[in-house]
């Protein structure tokens, strides 16, 4: 078990105000942009709270028919609307952090307070990483929504305005529904050097400027590369990802061991949640009770359930040089 000890602190500060904590550079812009829609309907919450490894989502298929020719000799044939269903995997995750009393005594600041203050930010980052794994697997399984130019020669493999347009129009007439893109900062730099990125200062709330590619908000995440020169960029329609959370018996709890190392405290945080892109269904069988990020990122664990254009997400695979 790894907990914060005096040896982890290094040089003790003479003044707590001089002790600067390294802040996370990751953001929850996926939620801020509107592409992730939290489902708080009673039906979904009941499924999450009821237990089980999956959440079943029923949906109506689109209407079919060719348009019947009206004639006095013929009756109009009545068609029907059909339904289908998809599955989203439920993830059960937990994390724990702890500290000794001696750390608080020598620092003049309680690390447990810091831990408690940062739990929400930790889960925001964890959710973002899990979401990207879901996208890699679920959208990667829908080949009609994937544009991979990374095998091209020279400039033909590099993201630019033309290849971005090709990726966008994989959604056909639904491309007008796109509202955001997510990419690595190096991919953003390529487009910025080509004068394709503008920065807008929000009227209220956030102090930082927000990057836009045309009218699409840019979300930056530096995990969107395989580390070997291949990068992934995602294009999103609004509300194209469904998120749900709930059903944990004990979301948070603390524990104290007074005899160990002069006194130790722990905080345990647990989450039960799910992500699912619209129109794609989970078909995998996880090794443990719920799937790992590696299993979520495996395309063979997902299958398309209806018209690929209605999914509203495109995976664009490319290089930056």
| Strand-pair category, 216-220 with 178-183 | parallel
Pair 303, 139: CB distance under 8 Å: no
210-213 sheet: strands from edge to edge = 146-148, 313-318, 231-237, 178-183, 216-220, 210-213, 197-200
Looking at the DSSP bridge assignments, the partners of residue 98 are 266
**123 in Cβ contact with 271 (< 8 Å):** yes
Which of 34 and 20 is assigned the larger pLDDT? 34
Across the strands, what pairs with 212?
Answer: 198, 217
The answer on pLDDT for 180 being more than 90 is: yes
C-alpha distances out from residue 173 to 211, 217, 240, Å: 25, 20, 16
Averaged pLDDT, 102-113: 86
Q: Is the pLDDT of residue 1 over 70?
A: no
Residues in the chain: 321
Q: How many CB atoms lie within 10 A of CB 97?
A: 20
pLDDT of 22 reads 36
Give the pTM: 0.83
pLDDT, one tens digit per residue, over 258-300 is 999 999 999 898 989 999 998 899 999 999 999 999 999 999 9
Note the pLDDT tens digit of each residue in 118-165. 888 888 889 999 999 999 999 999 999 999 999 999 999 999 999 999
Name the token pair of 192.
């910025």
Domain range annotation of the chain = 23-53+90-318
Distance between CA 275 and CA 55 in Å, rounded?
Answer: 10
**28-33, long-range: CB within 8 Å, 24+ apart, which pairs?**
28/124, 28/127, 28/128, 29/217, 29/219, 29/220, 30/128, 30/131, 30/182, 30/219, 30/241, 33/179, 33/180, 33/217, 33/219, 33/236
Whether the per-residue pLDDT at 196 is higher than 60: the answer is: yes
């Amino acid at each position: 078990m790894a907990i914060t000890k005096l040896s982890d602190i290094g040089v003790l500060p003479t003044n707590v105000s001089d002790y600067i904590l390294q802040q996370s550079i990751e953001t929850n812009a996926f939620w801020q942009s509107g592409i992730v829609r939290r489902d708080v309907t009673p039906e979904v919450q009941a499924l999450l709270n009821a237990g089980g490894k999956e959440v079943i989502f029923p949906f109506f298929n689109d209407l079919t028919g060719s348009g019947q020719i009206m004639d006095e000799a013929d009756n109009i044939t009545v068609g029907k609307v059909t339904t289908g269903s998809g599955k989203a995997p439920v993830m059960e995750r937990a994390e724990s952090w702890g500290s000794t009393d001696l750390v608080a005594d020598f620092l003049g600041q309680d690390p447990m307070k810091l831990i408690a203050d940062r739990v929400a930010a930790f889960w925001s980052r964890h959710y973002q990483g899990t979401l990207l794994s879901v996208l890699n697997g679920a959208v990667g399984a829908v080949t009609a929504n994937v544009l991979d130019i990374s095998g091209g020669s020279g400039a033909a493999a590099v993201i630019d305005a033309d290849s971005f347009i090709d990726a966008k129009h994989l959604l056909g007439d639904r491309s007008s529904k796109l509202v955001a893109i997510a990419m690595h900062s190096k991919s953003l730099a390529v487009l910025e050097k080509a004068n394709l990125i503008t920065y807008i200062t929000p009227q209220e709330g956030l102090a930082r400027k927000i990057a836009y590619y045309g009218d699409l908000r840019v979300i930056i995440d530096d995990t969107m590369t395989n580390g070997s020169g291949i990068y992934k960029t995602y294009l999103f329609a609004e509300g194209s990802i469904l998120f749900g959370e709930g059903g944990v018996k004990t979301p948070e709890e603390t524990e104290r061991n007074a005899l160990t190392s002069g006194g130790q405290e722990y905080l345990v945080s647990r989450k039960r949640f799910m992500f699912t892109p619209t129109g794609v269904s989970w078909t995998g069988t996880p090794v443990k009770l719920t799937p790992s990020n590696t299993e979520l990122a495996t395309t063979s664990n997902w299958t398309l359930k209806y018209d690929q254009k209605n999914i509203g997400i495109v995976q664009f695979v490319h290089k930056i040089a």
